[in-house]
Structure 1
Amino acid sequence: MNLATTPRTLSAALRRAPRALLASTALLLAVGAAGCAASPTGTTAARPSTALGATATATAMGGAAPAVTASRPLTVLPAAARTVSWPLLTWYTPQRYAPHAAPARIWRQTPAGKWQLVRQGMPGVKGSLSNVAVSPDGRRATWLASAQRRLVIDRFTGGAKRTVPVANGPACEPSWLDNLRVVYAQGREGDWTYLGVNADGTGRRVFATHQKSCPTVAGTAVLARYDARTVTLFGEGGPRRTVKPRIPAGLKIHGVAGVSGDGRNIVISTHVPSPGECACGWRIRNYRVSMATGAAVELAPLDRAWRKPTGRGLVEKIVFLRTGGLVAQTNAAMPGDDSPRYRLVRYGTDGRVVGSRSVPAGDQWASRLLG
């Protein structure tokens, strides 16, 4: 059972069980008719998204940002009238131990949308302290071993294992900064030290100290830390910028799903708090946010039913595209379900859904879009 995609300490992991096109009046009517006939899980967009004005938290990199006016609702053509471009995506499926053992697998998606197996291995050990984290290129893996409290780094297919000692006490799950560097954290709740190490086990260094939460690795060489209303990005030199996304006052940030390669944009997941904060009662809302201004554009849900407080529609991982759009790993399952139901959703720059695709069979909670 997966209750949220917040950065997890090990104790949490062990119990872990989302140009405007103007036309004539006739065309608008045609588009409206097509939208009514479309399936809510198809490739056409849901309700128009809205860009909200925002201000950024002043830092050493700049002061408060100017206000941004809300954008006007946009209209798009039906999917049949457009060509949706997809990048070549990579997907990771974790190893299965029971009831039917199966190796971990790396998949690559073809331009036609089919998934091809490119690599399989047996990274990790049953009973490890953390999930296995796979590098963006799918060639390496890392995890925290319970035996002798070690961070283990190895090739995905095995045969090049390196270990790094980890202090006793709580620790955060490891992640990859890029294809050659791992980040992890140790300390205690509310007072974490962020550490980095090379894939060969050398070059251990401290990124930050006295941090209140575990780090989220959400972009190449970028760490993200968040609280209920702000997000801070870190580089190897320390904090880069803190932003307060201009989202509705009643929402609480619970995850950073991605950071663009240039560090200018992030995608966050938020929810409307519910009694007891059970994720099964959350209404999930996902936003693309400018780190320079804090302007927020909501990503339309793939299914209109996700506008209700069911916990569906959580964006767990984002790939930013050079065209300005996004691909989101989105979970269509409820938090209490035994397994996830992931979809890959293609978004335009305006936050509208322009297409969706399936993932390889065998969804698991630790399955991940790598890039």
Structure 2
Amino acid sequence: MDGPTLDVRHHLPTALAVATALAIAVFDHATGLGRSILPLYVLIPVIGAAGPADPRRPLWAGGLTLLIGEVFGHANWSIRPFSMGAMIAGVVAMSVITSLAVRLLARQRGRLRDLDETSQTVRGIVQPPVPPTVGSLRTEVRYLTPPSDRHIGGDVCSVSDTPFGVRLLLGDVAGRGVSTLHSAAELSYTFRDLAWTEEHLSLVAAHLHSTVLRRGGKEEFATALLAQARGPAVELLACGHPPPLLLNGSGVSECVPAGPRPPLGVLHLGESPNGLDTVRLDPGDRLLFYTNGVTGALNERGEPYPLAERAARLETEDPAGFLDALQADLLAHVAGGLGDDAVLLLVQPAIAAAPTQAAEPDGGGAAVPPEPLGSGTRHRRPGLGVTVRLRRQRGSRIAGKA
């Protein structure tokens, strides 16, 4: 039976401090009394404080330093009693100060760990795990948080299978800290309740707007993108939020809303167009939703992340592999770390794509001719009676990880 193992890393700082004290003493003794370097002993407690935070280490290092100094430096007492006394006082003072500093550091680290655990728990409530399949949609989501923010942000992501179809909310509450997290939690709770009870998506947005106003007054707002999938039709309602990207065999298209609305909290200050934007999501098509933290991620040259261009280059059929490759590319773009929370949500029909044929649109008739890349014109889907502006992105394809 193996005995207890010795943690070398735990004792290494103390051993290094003792070795340094011995080296100083030996060098001081070898060079004679005229060139004493014993005052360097005041640095030994700092060396002993390295490694895992333990307030006892500087005290042990200081005590051993004084013992070594007594053994090797006793001859200095008769010649330089004042300098030796000052050295001893310095070592004692530095040991006590360093021990107190390490104690405060350990306490602060404990508080940060508690904050991390609390924020992660609350984040799990604000952003509950999205199942891989919700109703008729297959979903995949990635949450990205900058390490400096201690995971406290205002991004909201919620997907529910309701009597009105699969509904989702992707939003971003302006601000940072606990207050922003509370606002995001209330927004998420309100949406999950309304998604099951409110028939019209525009009224869901109106209630969410009232929620933001009631909590934050005129000083708080939140961007939001609401979506509702029933069959191949996906209705979109954007309130100051970036539009999703449609990924299909023709490339990547930005679903620009025909009538954009202001963010929640200031929705009453702008015009709210009637009707919803609708995009058709056929088997094999995908919709990529994202928050401002993705497209607002800057590299070291101050250039934003070109999401549509990078998404067009990926050739990965697996949704998880696609988002993994996109996330890795985003983090490589911002080598210094993200400056804001970010969410990536990919949805696609749960059924597999049918073999490629000369497909007819709903209701019969001729197929819609392909739209030229970069035309930025309105694209009408027959049978749905609604329009959505598709702005296609061109990109050379690269293989993402499967």
Same fold (TM over 0.5): no
- TM-score bucket (shorter structure): under 0.3
More contact order relative to length (CA 8 Å, sep ≥ 6):
1
**TM-score, normalisation: structure 1:** 0.26
Which has more strand, going by share of residues?
Answer: 1
Which has more helix, going by share of residues?
Answer: 2
Larger Rg: 2
**TM-score, normalisation: structure 2:** 0.24
